[in-house]
Structure 1
Amino acid sequence: MRNFYFLMWLNLICFGFSFAQQTDSIFLKVKLDTARHEMHVEQEFVLINQSPKTLNELYLHNWANAYSGKLTVLNKIKLQDRKGALHFSEREDRGGAGNLIIRNVENDSLSYQIQEREFIKISLPTFWRRGEKIRLRANYTVRIPSDAFTRYGRSENGNYLLKYFFLQPATVNEFGHWVLQHYKDFEELTAYPSYYELELEHPENYQMTSDLEWDGERWTAENMEHFRVYLTQNELEKHSFLLKESGINVDFGFSYDTIEKPIVDSLLPHQLRFLEDHLGHLPTNQLFVSYKTKKEQEYFGVDDLDAWLFEVKLFSEEEKNALKLFQILSYEYVDRLFSINKIEDHWLKNGLQFYLTMKYVDETFPDLKLVGHLPDKIKVLGIKPLNFFHAAKLKMNDRYKLLYLYLVRQNYDQAINTPLDELSNMNQIAMSGFKTGLTFYYMDQYLENGTFYELVKRFSEENRGKLVSQMDFRNYLIENSPKDLSWFFDDYIDKKDKINFKLVNSEATETDLKIMVKNQTQFSGPFQVVASKAGIPVEEEWYNSTDKITEVSFPKGEYDKIELNPGYLFPEFNDRDNYMRTRGLFKNGKKLQFKLYSDIENPEYAQIFMNPQIRWNNYDKFLIGMRFHNQSLLTRPFKWNITPKISTGTGKIAGSGGVQNTFTPQNTIFRSITIGGSAKYEHYDADLTYLKWSVYASTNFEKDPRETLSHGFMFSYDNLDKEVPKFDVQTDEDKYGLWNLTYYYSKPDYINESYGSVTFQTTEVFQKVMGEIYYRWRFAPKKQLGIRLFAGSFISNESDTDYFNFGVSKVSDYAFNINLLGRSESSGILSQQYVMAESGFKSQFDFTVNQWVVATNFELPIWKIFDVYADAGVYKNKFQTAEFIYDTGIRVKFIPDFLEFYLPVQSSLGFEPAMDKYWERIRFTFNFNLSSIINYLRRGWY
């Protein structure tokens, strides 16, 4: 112990007094116990008061305790991401620090308090003045958690990846207040760049790799915020590469197989030189790439497609490995350059990484398509059908545009400068990374001649190893840029305005071509206009968008097309109004284009998509037709569709159509407002048609992007006109207008999942109110207990039929909103279709309710795909007393929520398996809804 402290102080003296004055120094002596998965730590701090005032207390972060249980902030974040590993973990798999003793340099014990598990408040015996040093010692034990939670910790095969498990001094802001941070696994934690020295005792069969550098006796580093240690028993999982020109040594904390390794080794020199050329040298000669980085910085979209019986290779091994390797290498390189506040200034490093990735693709694979070589591999009768899709022509860098547009058109985007821990998972990628990277790429084009990347390189070199802020970056670029860039820092990054420029018209005069450009938002940045002939740019110029309307003038020439911000130069909300013809039939507009099947929209054309349609019900049999619409693979605000169909069961024409417009207002309580209308004409019974037309409006309230809550109102008017059998008298169930007003909410949290709605309905003959609450509690990783409560009551009911009654076993779908295979069937297998609505009983009770009903539905998993269910309720019909009914049975979930079977057992009808024709009592659900599947998959992302 004495030798350890002697060597520590000797090393500190040798390192230089001037360095000790500027940075903190942290010395660690660690003994790893692989049997208990524990570390015994002796830690020494030499800390500088870097606050603007005198302090009498000190905070240390104890982030190992973030793994200590269900009530930590880390577990809350993981549950938001729908990851329950920590929540349902066993005690021995969790982490934490204990047996903590803190002393000063005189070896006197210091009093401390543990706050919120992760913060240690130390009361200092004397005042700690600005710029002064203090020395502390700490002894403690760290229980290393399973890496199943964050990929830091111990793996099942006995390897260790360690980060954030040692005590870390907190930082102080410019006002002298302590900045306390919970560990959330965003790689967002900020610390002062410090000098580190580590001695780690481990079993001889382990090999060690780290961000720290080995000096022959110990591991050290200067100006480092955090470091990682990787310990493995398998030599194959440790690869190193030395770039001789700059002396950088790259260590990989994961294995490449014998096929990949030669490719990777051949790619590394070029990629490291590329990064050095654009960012300058690292402050260290050591670069460590961890398995966690490999998994979380995946370059998605380049993996082979596993198409059931065969595999489709989209990219060559060199392309795939190059893109994947550059993604993780650039992340580690940028992260090691300098330090930032990763909560407030996250976009600076993330934007640089994706900007560099775009530049790398431009330089290395300029012709690489987003879908790789797939269009050339698929042939039908010698024809390559995929080449007819615009998606097949998109370049690899168009991926950033597509993800950005996907989010922004649904109003799920957030401002770039939003704190990192307030961004949704998708926006951490799309806004902090993709949108910022796109904008840096745009600034690079705007400044021209490589000016932007030279500015970035000089900034990186001048601040190598330092703690910098976005204000430092702002000041450097504005002071050194030949063109104004203040619009980016002073306006753009703080707003989520859906930026959109529009070409209004063009007019040729005797001397020039005048073009009108409209700026439809408050954006104050520049834009580019290009005039081309036969696809070749003839004139191009940059303009400042200081006014709502800008008049652009080009010399008179043989132009045939005008382009605004060509190639999606800037992340706009809508680039379909950025192209214009200057002659011919489509002057000041775009050519009309018909496309079979939906495609990625081509902004140069006004497109109409045609999708073959086929659907089945018991009366029309197969409904075969063609859907004409304007909806591309990316959603758009204004949508229309017309779908004529042939009913094979009747030989008649059927079909549907609709139009709707969605508004995504900024800075309001609404995320979206949708208005629209639709019509449908089909059969509801044998040889009987119905015509339904509707108008509707709906609102979605603004939501916290990291929370799951969605809620809003829906209003609609449905007019139903049903064909009446010959010689029958028309009743109030054959022609009616139905008004609906519904408030709904949805909160599909991982542990506590809830849905609900309240609806008021009225027609000429009734008014009713009804509501439901559905709650599911996840008590094990794959098991949920569910309970639903439904209540409904007629305010008035003057109908002369039971058509509008509350359903008990079958839903009363008089609004024709549900896809029922046999809507009017009272017997046969189609009558056994089940929909969880209204009372929700699975046993087939042959009555409905015309006054009020209260029912509850309960489900409990028992084994794999089998659940037990129970329904109970009380109902009252007019002129009758209230009655109680129930049923129980088994649910078999072949595809949960989409294809399920219900096998009744005991009910108010009796013991149903003993009854005749039991198979006719079995119910099934069939709910193939693409939007429901998408909503299910996107949980945890936005």
Structure 2
Amino acid sequence: MSKFYLVLVLIWMSIISLSQEKDRISYHLNLNPTTNILTVYQTFELTNSSQQDLEEIYIHAWANAYSGRLTRLNEIKLQDRKGALHFSEKEERGHLQYLVISQNSNLLSYEIVEREFVKLNLSEPWVKGTRIQLLANYEVKIPKDVFTKYGYNEQQEFLLKYFFLQPATQDEKGKWVLQHYQDFEELSANPTNVQLTMDQLDEYDMASDLFEENKIWRGENMEHFRLFLTPKPENIQHFKSADQNLQIEFGYALDSIQKDHYAQLLPKQLQFLEDHFGPLPMRKLFISSKTKREQDFLGVDDLDAWILELKLFTEEEKNALKLFQVLAYEYIDHLFVVNKNQDHWIKNGLQYYVMMKYVDHYYPTLKLAGQLPDKLSVLGIKPLNYFHASKLKMNERYKFLYLYLARQNYDQPIETDFDELSNLNQIAISGFKTGISFYYIDQYLGGNEFDHLIKNFSNQNRGKRIQKSDFQQFLQQYASKDLDWFFEDYVDKKDKINFKLVKLTDAEDSLQIHLKNQTEFQGPFQISAFRNEMEVERQWYVSPTKDINVNFPKGDYDKIEVNSNYLLPEFNDRDNFLRTKGLFKNGKKWQLKLYSDIENPEYSQIFVNPQIRWNNYDKFLIGMRFHNQSLLTRPFEWNLSPKFSTGTGKLAGGASVSNTFMPQHGWFQAIKLGGSMKYEHYDQDLTYLKWSLYSTLNFRKNPRETLSHGFIFAYDNLDKEVPQFETQTHEEKYGLWNATYFYSRPDYIHESHGSVTYQMTNFFQKVMGEFYYRWRFATKKQLGVRLFVGTFLENQSNSDYFNFGVSHVSDYSFNLNLLGRSESSGVLSQEYVLAESGFKSKFDFTINRWIVSTNVELPIWKLFDLYADAGVFKNRLQNPEFIYDTGLKIKVIPDFLEFYLPIQSSLGFEPSMDNYWERIRFTFNFNLSSIINHLRRGWY
């Protein structure tokens, strides 16, 4: 009987050991660099580690992601406004072909699902806990590297990753996890032992994640591996760690200075990473040109401004920071395996956490602006030293990118799937915010306890596949303080953190501090006391309620601060300070700053910007803009802009105030309430005064989508001076009500935007709408079509001032910055604005009933487009009429400075008419917000 039990135990132990054995995949490759065809012979030895027998297997064929336009990869690239794959030629793309898979010499049937997944039907059930062997033969047409930086380049170099067949993983319930290749480096695979051989290419050198011995390349615990083949030996650089146990290869050229610096820096940096995370479970690290490009330490490169070249940092500092970022990325990526789509934040957060620790250790005084504030001198004055930004330390860069997004309500929860994060949030949230959070936990636990925890966790799970629950349970079990709040109340919520210091009160034996916790966050926070700008006391507290009263040790302090050094990623740190002495006790000092700056939370700041504008009536408007808007958006904004009109010798200007609410949940991304006033000249010696009240409601935006839409409700009150003795009409003083729905979808291929507006005064009501569509049918060619429809519901006006414009817009709401809004002749009358009917030819009438018009633009060559406008309109007591015009558009600076040359229209053949140059129209639209919106496309 005992022998029977012994046999059962041995069988059970063998099954367990078998199930724990790593998968093995062997490759034999033959590359034809002329045809860019890679022939692959691949052997799989896989263990069924699920809880059930399997009759089918899913295998990824990610090479097919490059096969054309109807792939997830192309969809993602278009979201990023990159059209290389969409407009590529067939020979530039990639795919997998001639696939044959067998088991025990028997061919297996398979089905290609959604291009990238091979559904393989097994000849017999795959029993759980057992191993099978599969053989696969296939060819890979390698794509050009312009799409993802993987593939071949013009120098006939090859960087290969994700081109081989890869078994899909399974989740805890045994369901296959199928992942499209999206070029996010988030693809997950089981840790695998890899062996590779390759037919010799005498003219090529090779670098790889795999370790080479006698022409056989091997790797252990690999998710994926890369191969870099180059005919240029100088594009591969070799280094070793101080103990010679780890080899590092770079797949790109280094100059002589970089080689010297890397030789000195690598041993220290590798030791720093090992001290924090333990040794790697492999003998080789490879850093590719793609990793170098995507893990570049931004902000330390030299500034090249025309003839002026400025070095912000020394070569040693620049090389150290850039090297450590790529090294930390590769090092942490190889420690253990996670689901990079769901648990991306673990590795990305650890990378930026250790980068902050590295800067703390080796460059504690390094400034974000480097040496620039001290080097840039104008007439012996160093102007940048007067900016708060020049005093910021390097590690404060993480704070400002996070705040930039959070202040606009574009941030996302840390646990959002990686492929649902916007491109900027993949950096700012998965990396920066999580890194700040780990740094905060490190400070909270104290004594480098967090470093020890992470190192022990890494050592226990080296080369293994782990989940968030493993990470959570380990920290909760072994940390000396409670960390439940981090996993249960922080990583899965978008709720922003914001503490406010309200009041300080002296008691007999302590300093009583009253704070408000303005969000749902219930984690710990730190209060610090300063004397002469030096921290002399700190205490940690918890935040179980909204109103918090704590006792702080008494002392001789100048200032009390919550969340010093921005340990917590707060939404607003401007209310974190209180003075303990002097005139500004329980308040802030005022500070006047020339030009906008990074906000200094210790001060109530007023920024002053010189301003100059021009119009035909005021001539130059010269003045100052006083405002509270720093380089980061604030919810509450005010602006006062007094100006001197050189054309009239009088004062002009404007003012505005607004407050923006950012709901964390619900339909709206932002709700803005505001008011404004403007006083300028609209004609010679004639002024207008406009004051407005408005509300803007922006619907919540999917950060990976381009659609933005919402409502604008506004009331404008206009009061205009009129020439003496002129007949009074409705156009001197009026109140204008507006209700508008707007939307914008600036997709790369199919761009559209539009609006519908209802407008009302005491004497008219009108409804108008416009729809604009632009189709990009080639890399630099777009067909644009616009449709405008407008009709009066009621019109009792005794002038044509409020009519629909045909060639010109009267702009009775004074929303446009026109150079000569009242001109009827001369160059300024030729200014063109695409609004209302949008005709370019000069038709000298307006519409008082209804009009339907369309505007079309077609590119023909480089800066030249053809345009055509057509419309049907009806005026009171007249029959409907049809008009049209055509001509040539010259895009000197597209969307900003353009000229329209009319050719044929309802007026006739215009080039043959007198004074043709007076018929040429131009647009001049320098709008900073439009430029910013254009640049941010594809990021959020």
Q: TM-score, normalised by structure 2?
A: 0.97
Structure-to-structure mapping, 1:652-731, within 5 angstroms: 652-731=650-729
Q: CA deviation at 1:594?
A: 0.8
Structure-to-structure mapping, 1:346-385, within 5 angstroms: 346-385=344-383
Identity %: 65
Distance in 2 (alpha carbons) for counterparts of 1:150 and 1:537: 48
Structure-to-structure mapping, 1:284-683, within 5 angstroms: 284-683=282-681
Q: Identify the match of residue 157 of structure 2 among 140, 156, 159.
A: 159
Distance in 2 (alpha carbons) for counterparts of 1:17 and 1:743: 63
Secondary structure in 1 matching 2:535: strand
Distance in 1 (alpha carbons) for counterparts of 2:16 and 2:284: 25
Q: CA deviation at 1:128?
A: 1.2
Distance in 1 (alpha carbons) for counterparts of 2:859 and 2:203: 46
Q: Quick one: structure 1 residues 861 and 655, their matched pair in 2 at CA, closer, same or farther if it must change by over 3 Å? A: same
Distance in 2 (alpha carbons) for counterparts of 1:284 and 1:183: 26
Distance in 2 (alpha carbons) for counterparts of 1:312 and 1:526: 43
Q: Identify the match of residue 118 of structure 1 among 116, 119, 130.
A: 116
CA contact (8 A) 1:765 1:799 kept: yes
Q: Which amino acid aligns with 1:272?
A: L
CA contact (8 A) 1:209 1:253 kept: yes
Distance in 1 (alpha carbons) for counterparts of 2:720 and 2:372: 49
Distance in 1 (alpha carbons) for counterparts of 2:433 and 2:844: 58
Match of 2:31 in 1: 32
1:347-366 C-alpha deviation (Å, 9 max, x unpaired): 00000000011111111111
Q: CA deviation at 1:20?
A: 7.8
Distance in 2 (alpha carbons) for counterparts of 1:18 and 1:236: 45
What is the aligned-residue RMSD (CA, Å)? 1.2
Distance in 1 (alpha carbons) for counterparts of 2:823 and 2:731: 17
Q: Quick one: structure 1 residues 21 and 546, their matched pair in 2 at CA, closer, same or farther if it must change by over 3 Å? A: closer
Q: CA deviation at 1:132?
A: 1.0
Distance in 1 (alpha carbons) for counterparts of 2:380 and 2:801: 57
Q: Note the residue ranges of structure 2 that are not aligned, 5 or more in a row.
A: 1-14
Q: Identify the match of residue 231 of structure 1 among 229, 237, 245.
A: 229
Q: CA deviation at 1:309?
A: 1.5
Q: Which amino acid aligns with 1:877?
A: N
Q: CA deviation at 1:728?
A: 1.8
CA contact (8 A) 2:898 2:924 kept: yes
Please say if 1:790 is aligned against 2:788. Answer: yes
Q: CA deviation at 1:549?
A: 1.9
Please say if 1:249 is aligned against 2:251. Answer: no
Distance in 1 (alpha carbons) for counterparts of 2:27 and 2:780: 42
Please say if 1:732 is aligned against 2:730. Answer: yes
Q: CA deviation at 1:259?
A: 3.1
Distance in 2 (alpha carbons) for counterparts of 1:595 and 1:688: 35
Q: CA deviation at 1:21?
A: 5.0
Q: CA deviation at 1:26?
A: 0.6
1:741-777 C-alpha deviation (Å, 9 max, x unpaired): 0000000000000001000000011000000110000
Q: CA deviation at 1:417?
A: 0.2
Distance in 2 (alpha carbons) for counterparts of 1:797 and 1:883: 20
CA contact (8 A) 2:19 2:48 kept: no
Match of 2:9 in 1: none
1:26-73 C-alpha deviation (Å, 9 max, x unpaired): 111111111110111111111111111111111111000000010011
Q: CA deviation at 1:246?
A: 5.2
Q: Which amino acid aligns with 2:767?
A: V
CA contact (8 A) 2:863 2:892 kept: yes
CA contact (8 A) 1:146 1:152 kept: yes
Match of 1:746 in 2: 744
Q: CA deviation at 1:557?
A: 2.4
CA contact (8 A) 2:108 2:120 kept: yes
Q: Note the residue ranges of structure 1 that are not aligned, 5 or more in a row.
A: 1-15
Please say if 1:62 is aligned against 2:64. Answer: no
Q: CA deviation at 1:19?
A: 7.0
Q: Which amino acid aligns with 2:79?
A: Q
CA contact (8 A) 1:59 1:120 kept: yes
Match of 1:13 in 2: none
Q: Which amino acid aligns with 1:815?
A: S
Q: CA deviation at 1:273?
A: 1.1
Q: CA deviation at 1:723?
A: 0.5
Distance in 2 (alpha carbons) for counterparts of 1:343 and 1:146: 26
Q: Which amino acid aligns with 1:769?
A: V
Secondary structure in 1 matching 2:491: helix
Match of 1:9 in 2: none
1:472-527 C-alpha deviation (Å, 9 max, x unpaired): 11111111111111111111000111110110100112332111111111101110
Secondary structure in 2 matching 1:259: helix
Q: Which amino acid aligns with 1:67?
A: Y
Please say if 1:799 is aligned against 2:794. Answer: no
Match of 1:44 in 2: 43
Q: Which amino acid aligns with 2:892?
A: F
Distance in 2 (alpha carbons) for counterparts of 1:762 and 1:703: 30
Pick which of 368-377 and 254-263 moved more: 254-263
Q: CA deviation at 1:383?
A: 2.1
Q: Which amino acid aligns with 1:388?
A: Y
Q: Which amino acid aligns with 1:755?
A: H
Distance in 2 (alpha carbons) for counterparts of 1:211 and 1:17: 30
CA contact (8 A) 2:19 2:49 kept: no
CA contact (8 A) 1:61 1:167 kept: yes
Distance in 1 (alpha carbons) for counterparts of 2:576 and 2:242: 48
Distance in 2 (alpha carbons) for counterparts of 1:325 and 1:491: 35
1:66-102 C-alpha deviation (Å, 9 max, x unpaired): 0001001110011011110000000001001111111
CA contact (8 A) 1:32 1:202 kept: no
Secondary structure in 2 matching 1:847: coil
Distance in 2 (alpha carbons) for counterparts of 1:183 and 1:378: 46
Distance in 2 (alpha carbons) for counterparts of 1:21 and 1:731: 89
Secondary structure in 2 matching 1:822: coil
Distance in 1 (alpha carbons) for counterparts of 2:909 and 2:685: 39
Q: CA deviation at 1:670?
A: 0.4
Pick which of 569-578 and 243-252 moved more: 243-252
1:551-602 C-alpha deviation (Å, 9 max, x unpaired): 2222332212111111111100000000111122111111111111111000
Secondary structure in 2 matching 1:113: strand
Secondary structure in 2 matching 1:53: coil
Q: Quick one: structure 1 residues 101 and 556, their matched pair in 2 at CA, closer, same or farther if it must change by over 3 Å? A: closer
Distance in 2 (alpha carbons) for counterparts of 1:710 and 1:50: 46
Secondary structure in 2 matching 1:69: coil
Match of 1:71 in 2: 70
Q: Which amino acid aligns with 1:26?
A: I
1:651-709 C-alpha deviation (Å, 9 max, x unpaired): 11111001000001011110000000000000000000000000000111011110000
Q: Which amino acid aligns with 2:505?
A: E
Distance in 1 (alpha carbons) for counterparts of 2:814 and 2:375: 45
Pick which of 333-342 and 122-131 moved more: 122-131
Q: CA deviation at 1:223?
A: 1.1
1:356-381 C-alpha deviation (Å, 9 max, x unpaired): 11111111111111111111012233
Secondary structure in 1 matching 2:465: coil
Match of 2:79 in 1: 80
CA contact (8 A) 1:33 1:202 kept: no
Distance in 1 (alpha carbons) for counterparts of 2:876 and 2:725: 30
Distance in 2 (alpha carbons) for counterparts of 1:820 and 1:482: 66
Match of 1:881 in 2: 879
Distance in 2 (alpha carbons) for counterparts of 1:781 and 1:744: 28
Q: Which amino acid aligns with 1:40?
A: T
Distance in 1 (alpha carbons) for counterparts of 2:215 and 2:926: 64
